[in-house]
Amino acid sequence: MAQSVSLILLLLGALFMFLASIGLVRMPDVLMRMHSTTKSNTLGVGLIMLGVALRFDDFAIAVRSLAIVIFLFSTAPVAAHMIGRAAYLSGVPLWDGTLSDEMRGRYDLETHTLSSRGKDIASAQEAGSD
């Protein structure tokens, strides 16, 4: 019983990672690609590790696979945040159909401060670019 459940968990995790890789190719823009990969990758590896823990039925191995899951759950958001921030700040173009970009003109690249009064920085940047 536990063996079949673990096999189904492994298959489900692999399916999630496969869907994540399809999103990685099909999505039009870096931030959308990250939206597809980071979440389903975490879920996929989590399911696979759960399957491994069930399969071997040993406390030490269960703890080891749980360590991988905890490590991944705590580091994947950090890595995704850093990559998204670096992509946005380095000026990678967003998708043409993007409806709102709240940070445009509100983040000063020189002083690294975020301002809610966006107009000052935006006008300063436009003046600087002209």
Partner 1 sequence: MNILINITFGLLILAMFIAFVRLVRGPSLPARVVALDMMAALAVGIIAVYSVATGQPIFLDVAIVLALIGFLGTVAFAYFIEKGELPWRKA
**Where does this chain bind partner 1 (CB under 8 A)?**
3-4, 6-8, 10-11, 13-15, 17-18, 20-22, 24-25, 30, 33-34, 37-38, 41-42, 44-45, 48-49, 51-52, 55-56, 58, 61, 64-65, 67-68, 71-72, 75-76, 78-79, 82-83, 85-87, 89-92, 129
State which amino acid sits at residue 117.
R
Residue (88 or 118) nearer to partner 1, CB: 88
- Extract the tokens encoding 30: 């870096």
Dmax over CA atoms of the chain, in Å, equals: 69
Question: What's the min distance (Å) between Cβ of 66 and partner 1?
Answer: 11
Q: Residue 20 in contact with residue 47, Cβ under 8 Å?
A: no
Residue 117: count of CB within 10 angstroms of its CB? 8
Residue (87 or 118) nearer to partner 1, CB: 87
Residue (10 or 121) nearer to partner 1, CB: 10
Distance, CA of 95 to CA of 59 (rounded, Å):
48
Residue (38 or 121) nearer to partner 1, CB: 38
Q: Alpha helices of the chain — where are they, by DSSP H?
A: 2-26, 30-56, 59-89, 118-129
